[in-house]
Amino acid sequence: MTEPREAETETPEDDFRLNRQEQEAINRAVDDGDGPALDALLEPMHAADIADLIEQLTPARRREFLHLYSGEIDGEILSEIDESIRDEVVEQLPRDVLAEAVREMDSDDVVDLIEDMTPPEQQEILAALDDSDRAAVERSLTYPEYSAGRLMQSEVVTAPEHWTVGETIDFLRAEEWLPDQFYHVILVDPRRHPTAYVTLGKLLASRRDTPLRDITEDSFRPISVLAEEGDVAYAFNKYHLISAPVVDEDDRLVGVITIDDAMSVLDEEHEEDFLRMARVSDESHVSDGPFQTARQRLPWLVANLFTASLSALVISRFESTLTQLVILAALMPIVASTGGIAGTQSLAVAVRALATRELTSANARRVILRELAAGMLNGLGLAAILFLAGSLILGAPMIGAVLGMAMIANQIVAATGGVLVPLGLSRLGLDPALASGTFVTTMTDMMGFFAFLGLASWILI
């Protein structure tokens, strides 16, 4: 085997994205009010890239852009535009363009577009749809937010269970309307209960007289219309599903979820967890202005003023100790901050493991004990370093010893707190990613200062 080469970070995908020159040409066309130039520049672009472009324009230029380009905004572009600016775009589109765009969209994209609108705004868009599409969208909206019912599209390709491959192909050829993308033909019984599915690959590769029943897939797995979208994405990823039928409470087929929608949900859930762990609202966008940004972040900062005041209170109990040995003030953040890092590490592992269902009631006890032991081990290691540093650098072995002992205590608190807090929140039905960090670092800060100053006043003073 030859030596592997390096993976390229410049990918062919970059060819489809805007370089700076193109970006400037587009800005110029917008500023000059030159509609035909703009159309020509955007003509080769993918709808997703046009949507990105619209998001990245400054608000003033975006208005001008929409004024020039609105006639070209179709269903595909509209469904790609990020929620943060979608209302703004929808408001500026001429009503006929909007109606036409909405008619082109699959029912799940229409639901996604209008679910956060007010009822009058919803009605205006629904009015543009055919009766059957409108009924499908309205039905989806009766299901809870973040449920499979909101995620599914109602456009489904079905066949009676007793059909053969040939009958199915003839039906598909005769059918005027088919979804843009579909991957299975779903077999339904006379009461419209889905019973199995057949991949299009098997349909194409089998003889015309083959009964559909003989070529169904093991992976068939109907999803309840009330299932939570995060669980749906998890199932798609875990079981390598490509599409799955959605059934109502009577087990009747009401729609289908495809993997691209599941992939978007997976992506969003990850992003949400990532931002929540850092105490940022998952409503944050790069396009937000400074006021919006400041407002989203302030609540957590104010919360931290309060939790930090608890630490200040702990420290203030040791004022006389600090007066006698002021170097303690310089050293005390070491114990607290290293505890904070350890708590965050333990917390991150636990939050991920809860999200991937790897941490369950079956192994929680083992994981807690593992964290306890790991915290003790790292505490011992860090304590050894601190004792040496205290002896050799500060020339004060007893201070090193106190630092070390406080560190052991705080590492144990950090490691076990980092798993107990998210487990507790999750048992209460709360999102473990949301507030765990605040709890855990408050614990490690208070414990860090208390253990260090407490031991110091007992041993050193």
Q: Which is nearer to a second copy, 195 or 337 (CB)?
A: 337
Distance of alpha carbon 115 from alpha carbon 319, whole angstroms: 57
Supply the minimum distance, in Å, between the C-beta of residue 445 and a second copy: 7
Nearest distance from residue 53's CB to a second copy, in Å?
10
Q: Which is nearer to a second copy, 193 or 285 (CB)?
A: 285
Euclidean distance between CA atoms 232 and 148, whole angstroms: 7
Q: Which residues contact 396 (CB under 8 A, 6 or more apart)?
A: 390
C-beta closer to a second copy: residue 73 or 315: 315
Output the smallest distance, CB 460 to a second copy, in A.
16
Judged by CB, which is closer to a second copy: 205, or 459? 205
For residue 453, the minimal CB distance to a second copy (Å) is 10
On whether the CB atoms of residues 151 and 245 are closer than 8 A, the answer is: no
The smaller minimum CB distance to a second copy, of residues 68 and 279, is found at 279
Nearer to a second copy, 160 or 201 (CB): 201
**Least distance (Å) between residue 94 CB and a second copy:** 25
Q: How far is the CB of 90 from a second copy (least distance, A)?
A: 20
Give least dist CB 429 to a second copy, A. Answer: 8
Q: How far is the CB of 178 from a second copy (least distance, A)?
A: 5
CA–CA separation, 319 vs 449, rounded Å?
12
Smaller CB distance to a second copy: residue 201 or 397?
Answer: 201
Which C-beta is closer to a second copy: that of 99 or that of 242? 242
Minimum CB separation from a second copy for residue 200, in Å? 4
Between 94 and 239, CB nearer to a second copy:
239
Q: How many CA atoms lie within 13 A of 274 on its CB side?
A: 7
Nearer to a second copy, 52 or 64 (CB): 52
Enter the tokens of residue 258: 């495809």
Q: What is the 3-state secondary structure (H, E, C) of 91-159?
A: HHCCHHHHHHHHHHCCHHHHHHHHCCCCHHHHHHHHCCCCHHHHHHHHHHHHCCCCEHHHHCECCCCEE
Task: Enumerate residues 6+ apart whose C-beta is below 8 A from 50.
Answer: 42, 77, 80
- d(CA 165, CA 125) in angstroms, rounded, equals 39
Report which residue type is found at 373.
Answer: A
In the complex, least distance from residue 347 CB atom to a second copy, rounded to whole angstroms: 7
Cβ-based neighbour number of residue 325 at 10 Å: 16
In whole angstroms, the minimum distance from the beta carbon of 434 to a second copy comes to 14
Q: Locate 153 and state its tokens.
A: 């599209």
Contact 416, 367 (CB under 8 A): no
**3-state secondary structure labels for all residues of 343-409:** HHHHHHHHHHHHHCCCCCCCCHHHHHHHHHHHHHHHHHHHHHHHHHHHHHCCCCHHHHHHHHHHHHH
Q: Measuring CA to CA, which residue among 211, 205, 217, 213 is closest to residue 244? A: 217
Phi-psi region of 211 (alpha: psi -120 to 50; beta: other; left: phi over 0): beta
Which tokens hold the place of 232? Answer: 């749906």
Residue number, 13 or 130, with CB nearest to a second copy: 13
